[in-house]
Amino acid sequence: MIFEYMRPPSFGDLFPSRYAFKYLERGMRYVGWMPPSRNNPNYWIYCAYGVIVTTLCGAYLPFGFFISYFVDFGSFTPGDFLTSIQVAFNSVCLAVKIAIVLPNLWRFKKAKTLLDILDKPCFQEGAGDEIHRCVARCNFVYMVYQVAYSSYSALTCLSSVLFGSTPWGFYIPFVDYRSSNSRFWVAASIEIIVGSVAVTLDQFVDVYPVIFGIILRTHIQLLIKRVERLRKNSSQSDNENYEELVNCIKDHKNILEFAEVFRPLVSGTIFAQFLAIGLCLGLSAVNLLFFSTIWTGLATSVFIIVLMIETFPFCYISELIERDCIELTHAIFHSDWVSASKRYKATLVFFLHQTQQTIAFIAGGIFPICMRTNIEMAKLAFTVVTVFKQMNIVEKLT
């Protein structure tokens, strides 16, 4: 079933945290990013397929866009040019993000191993339903991204074909789509396939930080609840209470390790998107305000939505994670430790000290990943629109 991993929890059939990446990994497998074991007879064929897909969509596509501006610039209408160039800059950003993600795909496997360790005490203490809901929420988020990105591809392809132009206008060697009707359909088909796959790859590298953030938040919140229950069971001995505290410290260490596994990926890809979002949003706004028809306007509007969800959700989740870390510190301090043994108090102080530093993410080691940074980067779009108006670029393009 397509929606199997979004179903509500049922007794005796609960999803572990690693299932949050189910749809994402399935998509990555289709584009050649999840090779089978080396013992598989199709291993090298699959790797060759993955190299071809990644090279076309991640390496050739940015060059194809900018080559077309030198070779065939005079044939662009203003609307077609802006539709093309707004995606061209995003394709450069996609190439950078792919270069960051591909060498680090091993981190997904390591992260799932850590999630299995974190899941064990949660299921033992009856928190399996919350883990299951987190997994279903992550897979639902993936589907939302899938609908948004696929809608953009479909609307762009439909609007271009209706008006007799290719969807994105990147350079295709040996194919002049204006020379004949058959060549037009050949060029349009190539662009639809390559462009749609590129949009899908962009979806993969944009949705995994959100999934990672949701899982991380869930396990921090579950740890907070466990800390709040420390020494609340009067039937437990001092040694059992101490053992529970030590287990909470171990789980906190595993949570920090899980965050560190994804930190380089999140930092690099969000940094690349921060650099591109203002320019891409500005070009899209100019296209939408001055040159769009009904169909191209719909496609551009969806593209603006896609640009916003590339950074906004994780920036928001990142702030919530920092807030959860602070709540964890408060939960430790306000737990029932006054009448505990000296050994318990000493260990609690160590735990409290370990949680003083919140989990924060820095994009490229420069920009803090938060709502303020996201808004500041998005505001660059107004600068782009202002430049277009003040320099009369709109009239010149027309």
The predicted structure's pLDDT at residue 397:
65
- Whether residue 4 is contained in a domain is answered as no
> What's the angle, vertex CA 359, arms to CA 118 and CA 261, rounded to 5?
55
- Whether residue 84 is contained in a domain is answered as yes
Euclidean distance between CA atoms 45 and 78, whole angstroms: 42
- Strand segments (E) across 99-219: none
- Strand segments (E) across the chain: 362-363, 367-368
Q: Give the count of domains, the chain.
A: 1
What is the SS3 assignment for 16?
A: coil
Q: Tell me the torsion sign for CA atoms 189, 194, 195, 197.
A: positive
Euclidean distance between CA atoms 92 and 96, whole angstroms: 7
Per-residue pLDDT for the chain (398 aa), expressed as one digit of tens each?
A: 677 888 888 877 889 999 999 999 999 999 989 888 888 888 899 999 999 999 988 888 888 888 888 877 766 777 677 777 888 888 888 999 999 999 998 999 999 999 999 999 888 888 889 999 999 999 999 999 999 999 998 888 888 777 777 888 788 887 777 777 888 888 888 888 998 999 999 999 999 999 999 999 999 999 999 999 888 887 888 888 899 999 999 999 999 999 999 999 999 999 988 888 888 888 888 878 777 777 778 888 888 899 889 889 999 999 999 999 999 999 999 888 888 888 989 999 999 998 888 899 999 888 899 888 888 888 887 777 777 777 776 666 66
- Whether residue 3 is contained in a domain is answered as no
Q: What is the mean pLDDT of the chain?
A: 87
- Whether residue 11 is contained in a domain is answered as no
CB burial class (10 A; 0-12, 13-18, 19+) of residue 158? middle
The predicted structure's pLDDT at residue 398:
63
Retrieve residue 188's tokens: 């349009």
- Look up the domain containing 206 and give its range: 17-397
- Whether residue 208 is contained in a domain is answered as yes
What is the SS3 assignment for 381?
A: helix
Q: What is the DSSP string of 226-261?
A: HHHTTT--TTS-HHHHHHHHHHHHHHHHHHHHHHHH
**Token pair 């203003």: residue:** 78
- Whether residue 7 is contained in a domain is answered as no
What angle do helix axes 238-286 and 181-228 make, rounded to 10 degrees? 150
- Whether residue 254 is contained in a domain is answered as yes
pLDDT digits (tens, 9 = 90+) for 132-182: 999 999 999 999 999 999 999 888 888 877 777 788 878 888 777 777 788
Euclidean distance between CA atoms 381 and 368, whole angstroms: 20
